[in-house]
Amino acid sequence: MSVPFAVRVFLLSFVPIAGILIGSFWTIQNLLGERVKDGLRASLRQSHRSISRARENFERRNSRMLTVLAENPSLKAGFELVHLESNSSEARRTLEDQLWEISETLTFDLIAATGPSESVLAGVVRQGGRQISRMDPRSAPPLSSGLVFLGDEAYVLARVPVNLSMENLGALYVGRVFDLSEFAGQTVLTRHGTVVRANLPGVSDGKLETALEPCAASQECEVTLHGERYLCLPFENIPLGDGYLLRSLQSVDAASRPLRSVVQNVFLAAGTIALLAISLVSMLSAKSIVMPLTGLIARLKESERSGVLTQFETTSSAREVTQLIEAFNRAAAAIVEARDRLALAYREFTHSLTNAIDARDLYTAGHSRRVSAYAVAIAQQMDLPDEEIEVIRDGALLHDLGKIGISDLVLQKPGKLTREELELIQQHPSIGRRIIERVDGLGPYLNIIELHHENHDGSGYPWRLAGEQTPRDARIVHVADAFDAMTSNRTYRKAMSPEKALRVLQEYAGTQFDPEVVDAFARVNYGELMASEPPEETLDRPGLERLGQALNAVEPSVPEKAARGNSA
């Protein structure tokens, strides 16, 4: 049976485009997963470095304190007494009392004295973080530097020898309780491949050991638990000794799921529009295949040369030719309509990303829309061209896009940020650029996204550009961003009044901000803008809503440093 021509045209048109859409979707999904994995890896390594530095500082303090304790004459006398009267319970009690006094004064959870053979002579432990009890030397296991288990409790121990003249009397061990809760996120402790402790909810030690089997010691790997992929990264520079290894796990699928949902919805919308357009064009072209095409082909060649698809006038008296031209005109109109719909879908996508960024925290909801409104008002005061104002409008909506790549451990921190955390947050303009620099149609917004934290005197980031080295649209968004940050409530301070915020902008004009932009903003009726906040886009996008719920925002602004201390 012959297949109708209309069906053949439809299949020949739809199947290749469907294949391209599916292939593009698969490729973008994989690239997105890799980008998310890279972001998680960088975030975990930064967190590991911060934890390692903190522990190294703690261990150095312990080492200095141990050295002082080991030279204590009374403690040495207690060691010597036990050494001379090894079978005397009174001698051991004297040494134990000395350790008890040290434990009451210092914050160690365990203090123990061992002889030259490393057998425990005396010791005390702090139970529950408060009560001190004596250690039974007979039941105590041999001690060593690193991680040691005493009963159900684990301790990280440090050792210093105790010498009298040239004679070694033994060693002094001090330690603190080892708790996985001090390591942010999901953590597992193994010993020679066997899980000792873990804080992954709903995952048994047996399943965790099976998943970690392919992972080589001290190397990054990817594991699967309950059908979900996890990035497994070992902690470096945290020696626990005796085959112990500490790893942190972060779900790659959970981190990328919201963004994957966004991509899926966008491709679904694009595929539907393409299907409708192809269906219409194929049906119209099938009806016209029996009609004379010479004149029409000539006009089509002209359109090919010009690159513009326009409607044709009906110049033939033949009914068939007239119908052909009318059908082509309708197809052209349908293509224009499809292009407009795609443009509308692109704008919805832009606003949806804005909603997703602002939805990360109640304190910053609507931030990007307000910054966009302030920036447009400044641009209008400066009499900028309409095309530049439109770029500023949408670029301001996306200016904080890079915060998607910043760890929630840093973004949601309520208190003062460390220098390392501040440096991590200051990467968000560069992260935002990397996200959109290869996306067609978003190129005009690169300057705003990457350079809206550059200061007028060159003290900003990421490139320390000064004056007009920073493009005008980025300098405008910088002022609008700072004003909204200062006039909005934050977890760490109350909002400034608009008048005070304007005075701060004027005070920093010429150093942090472009004086021309600040002067233009001073002429803006910002009170009216604040009273009539732009309405939020209403989109039927469940995937985008989930993206918004998954994110959280931090509003770094240089004038706010005085309020927060070291904010980005």
Count of helices and strands (H, E) across the chain: 19, 11
Place of tokens 């799921």: 257
Name residues whose C-beta falls within 8 Å of residue 363's C-beta, 6 or more positions apart in sequence. Answer: 488, 489, 490, 491
CA pair distance 422, 561, nearest whole angstrom: 11
Which domains are assigned to the chain?
A: 71-180 (3.30.450.20), 359-564 (1.10.3210.10)
Place of tokens 């470095």: 49
In this structure, the chain runs to a length of 568
Question: CB of 563 within 8 A of CB of 408?
Answer: no
Residue 547: predicted pLDDT = 35
Q: What is the pLDDT along the chain (568 residues), one digit of tens a residue?
A: 555 655 665 666 667 777 777 777 678 767 777 777 777 777 777 777 777 776 777 777 777 777 887 788 888 888 878 877 777 778 888 888 888 888 777 778 888 888 888 788 888 888 766 678 888 887 788 788 888 888 778 888 888 888 877 788 888 888 888 888 777 678 888 887 788 888 888 788 788 888 887 787 667 888 888 778 888 888 877 777 777 888 888 777 777 777 777 777 776 777 777 777 766 766 665 555 444 456 566 666 666 665 556 666 655 555 666 766 777 777 767 766 766 676 566 667 666 776 766 665 555 668 888 999 999 999 999 999 999 999 999 999 899 888 888 877 777 777 778 888 888 889 999 998 998 887 777 889 999 999 999 999 999 999 999 999 999 999 999 999 999 999 988 766 789 999 999 999 999 999 999 999 999 999 998 778 877 655 444 333 343 333 333 333 333 344 444 334 333 4
Residue 88: predicted pLDDT = 78
Of 528, 482, 477, the C-alpha closest to 506 is: 482
- The burial class, CB within 10 Å (0-12 / 13-18 / 19+), for 299 is middle
* Beta bridge pairs of residue 187: 248
Question: CB of 470 within 8 A of CB of 438?
Answer: no
Residue 142: predicted pLDDT = 79
Residue 360: predicted pLDDT = 59
Residue 462: predicted pLDDT = 94
pTM for the complete prediction?
Answer: 0.41
CA pair distance 145, 65, nearest whole angstrom: 16
CA pair distance 23, 21, nearest whole angstrom: 5
What count of other Cβ atoms lies within 10 Å of the Cβ of residue 358? 22
